[in-house]
Structure 1
Amino acid sequence: MNRIPVLPTLLVCAAIAVMIRLGLWQLQRADEKAALLVRYEQAETLPEMAFPQFAADDSLVFRRAGGVCLEPQKPIIEGGLNAKGEAGWRHIVACRTGTEGPGMTVDIGWSSRFDEIVAWKGGQVHGIISRQPDHRSLIEKAFRKGAAPGLMLVLTNPGKGLDQSAPPSIKDVPNNHLAYAVQWFVFAAVAAVIYGLALYRRRRS
């Protein structure tokens, strides 16, 4: 009589348990993302707030906000869309908002040309809170104190000669955690079936 190998069985069972745990975690994340999307939808209907100057909750994305850019830095140019969905170049500026800080990041508008020269002097700004680009380290180096990490204001009153950049859209925030959960459960089931077949063939041989 062939005995079930203890160590391989323990390893496979542990792997299956981990995959099931990851699947359950993804289900939890799906519920959390659904709740976050509800907050995003509510944020769009709330009145304008002052742009957060310090560490801020990510749920402020999509909220209308305003502020004062006292001293704009040199714009950072990166590819992006305008409000009409046309491809071109966004002009992103780091602003000083106080004597020594903190600061704010502002998308002052969109142009069709990379070499567009924009003379923007700052001042009162209004827009929609978005996330900073992934390479925001370039922006953060322009002012090192205090700005709300990861947040940016996409202006609804773009700089002179610029069009409005595409505002953040809830449609761009996917909730695919349920699909990930199904994948982990499928992986666990497949692992169990494959190991079960291996044990069956071992017993028959």
Structure 2
Amino acid sequence: MKKLPFWPTLIVGIAIAVMIGLGVWQMQRMAWKEALLAEYASAADRPAISWPQVPDPDALPLYRRSGVTCLEVTGWRSSSGRSASGAAGWVHIASCRTGAEGPGAQVVAGWSQRPGDPAWRGGPVSGVIAPDSTHLIRLVASPPVAGLGPVQKPSPEDIPNNHWAYAVQWFLFAAIAAVIYGLAVARRTRSPSSA
């Protein structure tokens, strides 16, 4: 019986161990994400908070009610989005100056069928804190401002929790690697030895 080749066996063994480790890590992240989503789901029932001047990336107050005074709109961006009734259109986001200190605030002013900038120039606004890919958080105005329509309400249900699928994927990769390597070794042991 031929001995297992040392280096290929070591490399494949390390690769399989890494893939299993990644699968376990994804399962741990799944538990963390489920706890985070449960916290976000309960946020709507908690009291309103002050708008955070500098949000903590590790403890974002997502889905909490809040308010801010937009002293001046310094810019607009529009992105495709849906109204509260599900109609496709444009969501209008104002960059607001909130005072001399801090980075200001991003305010989702509302929804319309056209991408042009709304006439709103600022003022007090209240709503729900939602995630923002560029600025970490933004305030979704409720009610909307400047004659705009309401946007689709931000919900923690929109946050994906794919960690179980990723864990299964890593475990399958590990199993496939083990099977393929086992077949390769079996084929090598059955082949006639060279003289």
- Residue 42 of structure 2 aligns with an amino acid whose one-letter code is Q
- Residue 108 of structure 1 aligns with an amino acid whose one-letter code is A
Displacement of 1:157: 1.9
Alignment match, 2:68: 67
Alignment match, 1:145: none
Alignment match, 1:144: none
CA contact (8 A) 2:90 2:115 kept: yes
1:159 aligns with 2:145: yes
* 3-state SS, counterpart of residue 75 of structure 2: coil
Displacement of 1:102: 3.5
Q: Which has the greater radius of gyration? A: 2
- Residue 124 of structure 1 aligns with an amino acid whose one-letter code is P
Matches within 5 A, 1:1-205: 1-56=1-56, 57-115=58-116, 117-132=117-132, 134=133, 136=134, 149-205=135-191
CA distance in 1, matches of 2:99, 2:139: 17
Unmatched runs of 5 consecutive residues or more in structure 2: none
Using the size of structure 2 for normalisation, the TM-score is: 0.92
CA distance in 2, matches of 1:130, 1:37: 13
Unmatched runs of 5 consecutive residues or more in structure 1: 137-148
**RMSD (Å) for aligned C-alpha atoms:** 1.4
Structure 1 runs of 4+ with >6 Å offset: none
CA contact (8 A) 1:96 1:104 kept: yes
- Residue 70 of structure 2 aligns with an amino acid whose one-letter code is C
Displacement of 1:59: 4.2
CA contact (8 A) 1:84 1:166 kept: yes
Aligned length: 190
Alignment match, 1:140: none
CA distance in 2, matches of 1:64, 1:70: 20
CA contact (8 A) 1:40 1:59 kept: no
- Residue 13 of structure 2 aligns with an amino acid whose one-letter code is C
